[in-house]
Chain A
């Protein structure tokens, strides 16, 4: 499978060279089926069911929602500064890919799968160890905050650079949730970029997910809308080292 994808990619890249060099990079995070996957286009809504507005997002707050499946949590953050696009990241298997930048008027809004790329720790209702640590915070995982940290093994990820590993034990970055902000300021989740852990996650947490979502509920694809909640309201306890 990987080989085939690679060949496909080379073919498109070869064509792209003739057109414009910048297109090569775009092709890398186009739909080659390996590291970029589109899912249902889902609108992010608040607890009351009203469309969430990009301009209303509190700076550096953790917003949690389910995407692309009912059982796979994602966290959206409105960063202090714009997120960089086209940073080259390397998946565990060596595949290279380029991240997307932030959305919103200042390019500061990003979202990542909240399943730690290390050993899949994820925010739960009783406690959350995986989160974005605001830039005013402190963490043992890295020299500065303003990053994603998983406090169970101190994996640190760069929120501004596609979820790239900054420190700790992870071998690859976070899967990025691709967002779109429409002209009316509404926010939509549309795709996943980078190496996701969904299959491993479903298999490792089968029992827990069954308890929370029923037999197959966790694997249900999110459709049309997803409820967004502040992480601090979603979980009983935030744990951050």
Chain B
């Protein structure tokens, strides 16, 4: 098994030299692969080093040192999405450094291999994953934790590729951390008086359901504290029925009077990033089919398109739904199609919220299932269910003083055959009858510290 590790390193070395002589590299890798496969049948390859992937890599290694773990990730640095709206909102002592982490730290500490490369194809028959720069990697168990992708094409079928690229850069979505968040922050810092538009995904499953509404509060907080004359306009399709809606609305009304305009029945039809205008149809009520089309000027536009699953799931050729999310084997985190392939994080079709903590929860459960599979023992996928407070999700709503709201989810084995979450939005003890409190904001920061420790410490 130690041999296996050595081979992986050899592989990395070969890959570095490969630029000059690609054909030689391929041959050596093939050999390395063979050795690896004979080395004990305990190689787990994880695609995606987000909340799910990093949690699992550490958990596997902590549980069983004989398991060889390789994590493949296309980004060279990790940035967390939770709490990043606080960064946009200019909360005290928040800086980019809070949100980033280097992959070397946990990989070295827990003894797994980090491969900074993009997956280009997956061969389930040969049990190999091909990468853009590090050759092929063999697996006994493959774990896919690839996250989401944006579906501008489906939402705006008339837009050209160029237009999509232009809008994506000009109106960053900010659900996939990194460039998009930094761009949004820059735009807010540079903005003049005027309107910030926030467009939540028009329909379907999307990452972090409270995010657009937390962002609404946080950007209103920013405008308020910076003395910017303007407002935040939310162009939603949900008619006010969104995650933690009551709690958000209470905070918006109490803290940001006149700064937030929520339009619940709209359809965005166009964005002109040159003129900085957004065109949308606003409907008077659910029976209004015609609506009124409006074109308005924006200073900052946060257009969050429809979400879909990362194409890695389809690339693996496992069964998935229309959005590309992987179909699951019952209540487990195993793919319905292939017992050697597990799926975690946002890419699953379990009816549990796509959140950081849920990804961690799923990764932990999947780890138990994988270890059982590798050791030929039984792990009942409904063990410990229903899991009370399996997901806790906080949203910052106030800046001065810092205040937050929360939701907790109980996950259970639903009759429909998948895992399902049921949420409840509590009022905190220190909230004086409101949904938000300062204690909850402190818990939010502590929660964030904890999930970062889960992945990196």
Contact = CB atoms under 8 A, between A and B. Distances in A.
Interface of A: 92-94, 116, 118-121, 127, 129, 140-143, 151-154, 156, 167-169, 171, 200, 203-204, 237, 239-241
B450 A153 contact: yes
B453 A169 contact: no
**Closest CB pairs A-B (n = 5):** A119-B450, A204-B457, A154-B389, A152-B446, A239-B439
A167 B408 CA distance: 13
22 contacts: A92-B63, A93-B62, A119-B450, A120-B450, A120-B453, A127-B439, A129-B446, A140-B408, A140-B426, A141-B389, A143-B388, A152-B447, A154-B389, A154-B408, A156-B388, A168-B388, A168-B389, A169-B389, A171-B364, A203-B457, A204-B453, A239-B442
Interface of B: 62-63, 357, 360-361, 364, 387-390, 392, 406, 408, 426, 428-430, 439-440, 442-443, 446-447, 449-451, 453-454, 457
Nearest to A154: B389
Contact of A121 (B364, B430, B446): B446
A92 B449 CA distance: 21
B63 A93 contact: yes
B390 A169 contact: yes
B446 A200 contact: no
B419 to A, nearest CB: 15
B454 A240 contact: no
A241 B450 contact: no
A119 B440 CA distance: 18
B180 to A, nearest CB: 27
Contacts of A120: 450, 453, 457
Contact of B389 (A92, A127, A167, A237): A167
B387 A167 contact: yes
B6 to A, nearest CB: 22
Given A140-B426, A154-B389, A200-B457, A127 B442 contact: yes
Contact of B443 (A116, A156, A204, A241): A241
Nearest to A152: B446
B364 A153 contact: no
A169 B443 contact: no
B443 A119 contact: no
A44 to B, nearest CB: 27
A241 B62 contact: no
Contacts of A119: 449-451, 453-454
A129 B442 CA distance: 9
A239 B430 contact: yes
B406 A241 contact: yes
Contacts of A168: 388-390
B388 A141 contact: yes
A168 B406 CA distance: 15
B36 to A, nearest CB: 24
A129 B388 CA distance: 18
Contacts of A116: 450
Contact of B357 (A121, A143, A169, A239): A169
B304 to A, nearest CB: 27
A142 B450 CA distance: 20
Contacts of B62: 92-93
A129 B428 CA distance: 13
Contacts of B450: 116, 118-121, 152-153
A169 B406 contact: no
A200 B454 CA distance: 11
Given A140-B389, A204-B457, A240-B429, A153 B447 contact: yes
Given A119-B453, A169-B390, A94 B446 contact: no
A156 B410 CA distance: 14
A231 to B, nearest CB: 15
B428 A153 contact: no
Nearest to A142: B388
Given A121-B450, A169-B390, 6 more contacts: A93-B63, A153-B357, A167-B387, A169-B361, A171-B364, A204-B453
A152 B443 contact: yes
A240 B442 CA distance: 11
A36 to B, nearest CB: 20
Contacts of A93: 62-63
Contacts of A92: 62-63
Contacts of A237: 439, 442
Contacts of A129: 442-443, 446
B421 to A, nearest CB: 14
Nearest to A143: B388
B457 A239 contact: no
A153 B388 contact: no
Contacts of A171: 364
B390 to A, nearest CB: 7
Contacts of A156: 388-389
A241 B425 CA distance: 12
B440 to A, nearest CB: 8
Contacts of B408: 140, 154
Contact of A167 (B357, B388, B429, B454): B388
A141 B387 CA distance: 10
A129 B426 CA distance: 17
A188 to B, nearest CB: 32
Nearest to B387: A167
Contacts of B443: 129, 151-152, 239, 241
Contacts of B357: 153, 169
A240 B429 CA distance: 7
A151 B445 CA distance: 12
A93 B429 CA distance: 36
A140 B357 CA distance: 16
A93 B60 CA distance: 10
